[in-house]
Amino acid sequence: MARRNFKVLYVSGEVSPFVRISALADFMASFPQALEEEGFEARIMMPKYGTINDRKFRLHDVLRLSDIEVNLRDKTELLHVKVTALPSSKIQTYFLYNEKYFKRNGLFTDIHNGGDLKGNTEKVIFFNVGVLETLQRLGWKPDIIHCHDWYAGLLPLLLKTVYASNSFFSDVKTVLTIHNVYRQGILPFKVFQKLLPEEVSSALYRAGDNVNMLYTGAEHADLLTTTSRRYADEIVGNGSDTYGLGPVVEERKSSFHGILNGIDTRQWNPSTDKLIKKRYATDRLEGKLDNKKALLDEAGLPFTEGRPLAGVIIGFDAFQGAELLKESLVKLVELDMQLIICGSGDKEYEKYFQDFAAEYPEQVSVRTDYADTLLHLAIAGFDMLLMPGRIESCGMLQLFAMSYGTIPVAYAGGGIVETIDEVTDKSGSGFLFYDYTADAFAGKVQEALDHYHDEERWLQLVLEAMGKDFSWKSSAGEYDQLYRKLLEE
């Protein structure tokens, strides 16, 4: 087959800058583009949540993609599609929309993070079936459908059951990438049973009365990947830390590959970034201080010469480190630094962090409404990025941070240890803590602060971090080989 004839559809519940829940959104913002540069034709499909601003992102309706029928066993719902190009690329991104499911309802949720489970389960099923119906109306047949996390976990099974006899999908392969092992899409089986044919509902992976979307996807996808080799090994070897996903991955380990994330170095480059206060590079680092001042002003915190600024960018749930951060806050503010917490999620954590910030108005600030501009400014303005998440398949934020001379302090799990060179007497690009405790976390932050106050040593760390190559080139090449091998089988 000719190189340009390979077509890949990427399906995800989140893509930055349209909507960001986790590092998956950052991954989706650059990964399809990297694979296009390897010779594949890439397109993206995602839900059109009510929170996505059509005007801001220049979404427009496609008349021939209106009123697509999505059959859900006992009823038929209509699907409408809007489209735009992924920013900084020409990759077509299709937004699947139905007013009933998406106008007022929030993002996809499951039993572990609340929400209207009956309505949400219908929404997830509608989206997955809608992807396949949209492809047929579009008349664009992908060679591979690359599913990301549980949001798209139903697609491999649908292709092997109700769509197996559909000639349009003959020879279409599926890949599932596991980004968040702790988010598995646990949803009530009775809704699937009501809306899907028996051949589909009977093949779903169930635990009691609930369906596990990620496990179901992992059973039926042709190929499985995750975002670092270390994390792939952890999923296969550490059953207790995989939240029940371990057995299927162990069973399919010959088809399971860990490939490290990369970043779009055109979008994430401090010397060209239009979203930060002042651009800078290794030979003109004074611009980083200007970004720090602008960020402090944005956060309502005073600037003090020589006082370090640390930041946290997480989802407010225990998996991403909100509990450890909560346990560590008192210890952190005693270290005479300023702290900006960016995130959203569990309202109890949100209230706790905001109440804590109110007690330390000159030292701590919380932002729950950060958008792309603030994210870039934060990455540029922080002196160090604190990463308290316990489970990180690879992560993207530490890659952004190091590229901007912001030094990460992170828990040594998953792909973190593959991307951060731990600081020693002679070299390093970040700090790692190994015991998942508030004492270990705060102790490592103190070690980082000791280095910060040694200007010559800190400069060395910053320059080493900024000199690392985090481009997609190597990783995209690995995916290229996997895709081509899969298509030859």
Q: Which CATH architecture has domain 285-469?
A: 3-Layer(aba) Sandwich (3.40)
User: Do the first three CATH levels of 7-262+473-488 and 285-469 match, i.e. the same topology?
Assistant: yes
pLDDT of 55: 92
Tell me the C-alpha distance between 356 and 47, whole Å.
Answer: 35
Q: What is the DSSP letter of 430?
A: B
Q: Tell me if 147 sits within 8 A of 159, measured CB to CB.
A: no
pLDDT for the residue 110: 66
Instruction: Round to whole Å and give the CA distance between 164 and 181.
Output: 28
Collapsed DSSP state (helix, strand, coil) of residue 241: helix
- The span from the CA of 288 to the CA of 273, in Å, is 12
Q: List the beta strands (DSSP E) in 379-421.
A: 384-387, 407-411
Boundaries of every domain in the chain:
7-262+473-488, 285-469
pTM: 0.90
Predicted confidence (pLDDT) per residue in 368-411, tens digit: 977 788 999 999 999 999 999 987 778 899 999 999 999 999 99
Cβ density class 155-191: b for 16+ within 10 Å, e for less: bbbbbbbbbeeeeebeebbbbbbbbbbbbbbbbbbeb
How much is the pLDDT for 230?
85
State residue 346's pLDDT score.
86
Q: Can you read off the two tokens belonging to residue 291?
A: 């970004």
Q: Which CATH architecture has domain 7-262+473-488?
A: 3-Layer(aba) Sandwich (3.40)
**Which residue numbers in the chain have pLDDT < 50?**
1-4
Q: What is the pLDDT of residue 142?
A: 97
73 is in an annotated binding site: no
